[in-house]
Amino acid sequence: MTWVSDHWNEIFTLARSHVWLSGLPLILGLVIALPLGWAARRWSRIYPVLISTSGLLYTIPSLALFIIMPIILGTQVLDPVNVVVAMTIYTVALLVRTVADGLGSVPDHVLQAARAMGYGGLRRFVGVELPLAVPVIAAGLRVAAVSNVSIVSVASLVGISQLGNLMTDGYARLIYSEIIAGLVACVVLALVFDGLILLAQRLLTPWLPAQGGRA
């Protein structure tokens, strides 16, 4: 425990970059997955294509993807952009299906009612379908958040610093409490993300009773 109190600043700095490396892809991924999920719903032929493509992308091991990224992007090996893009790919892969299924969960009679009230096209999507799909999308986002936080720690093996550094460094220098500190910090961070998404979901869906926090 003394290790933790001695290195508080370092942990904080690493945690901050961990937040960036896992949080930014979460937002980017959501922004990309929304139109893709919508398209998958709109044209049923695209659905299987998008779902299987995202399944394949998610299959690629994270460490391998971090290392391949520079070839694709033309970046330096030590560029944090590699990690952000790789994590965005994973997030999109997870969320496309969730968004499509979430939009699909909006009952037909609601859509018809919206149409009868004059809602069409983009306005119906933003005003009716998306809000009703929030619970499903938020659930997917929570899964993605937890998995992002865990996967990002692997990036310390390719020299991108974040909380995973505590684990690699602790292992290299045989400092047990450093590894544990990294582990705990990651879990705490995952819980924070989880809580924030849950909070956002409550705020976005005030008509739903507050329940089912921990599924």
Which residue type occupies 81? V
Q: Does 24 bind another protein (CB under 8 A)?
A: no
Does 168 help bind another protein (rule: CB under 8 A)?
Answer: yes
Residue with tokens 């998306």: 130
201 binds another protein (CB under 8 A): no
Q: 67: number of CA atoms within 13 Å, CB side?
A: 8
State how far the Cα of 77 lies from the Cα of 67, in Å rounded to an integer: 7
Question: Shortest gap between Cβ of 100 and another protein (angstroms)?
Answer: 8
User: Contacting another protein (CB under 8 A), which of 83, 182, 197, 198?
Assistant: 182
Q: What is the per-residue binding string for another protein in 125-144, x denoting contact by CB under 8 A?
A: ----------xx--xx-xx-
- Judge whether 39 and 46 are in contact, CB under 8 Å: yes
Contact by Cβ (8 Å): 142, 26: no
> How is residue 77 written in tokens?
């090996």
* Minimum CB distance to another protein smaller for 61 or for 118: 61
Is residue 15 a contact point for another protein (CB under 8 A)? no
Number of residues that bind another protein (CB under 8 A): 61
The H-assigned helical ranges of the chain are 2-6, 8-42, 46-59, 62-73, 80-104, 108-116, 121-124, 130-152, 164-172, 176-204
- Choice from 13, 75, 150, 205 touching another protein (CB under 8 A): 150
| 59 touches another protein by CB under 8 A | yes
- Please check whether residue 85 is in contact with residue 174, taking contact to mean a CB–CB distance below 8 angstroms: no
Is 196 near another protein (CB under 8 A)?
no
102 part of the interface to another protein, by CB under 8 A: yes
Amino acid letter for position 85: V
Q: Which of 13, 24, 39, 58 binds another protein (CB under 8 A)?
A: 58
Question: At its nearest, how many Å lie between another protein and the CB of residue 21?
Answer: 13
Nearest alpha carbon to residue 27 among 205, 196, 208 = 196
Whole-angstrom Cα distance, residue 191 to residue 13? 18
Residues in contact with another protein by CB under 8 A are 44, 47-48, 51-52, 54-56, 58-65, 67-68, 70-71, 77, 93-94, 97-98, 101-102, 104-105, 135-136, 139-140, 142-143, 146-147, 149-150, 153-154, 156-159, 164, 167-168, 170-171, 174, 176, 179-180, 182-183, 186-187, 190-191, 215
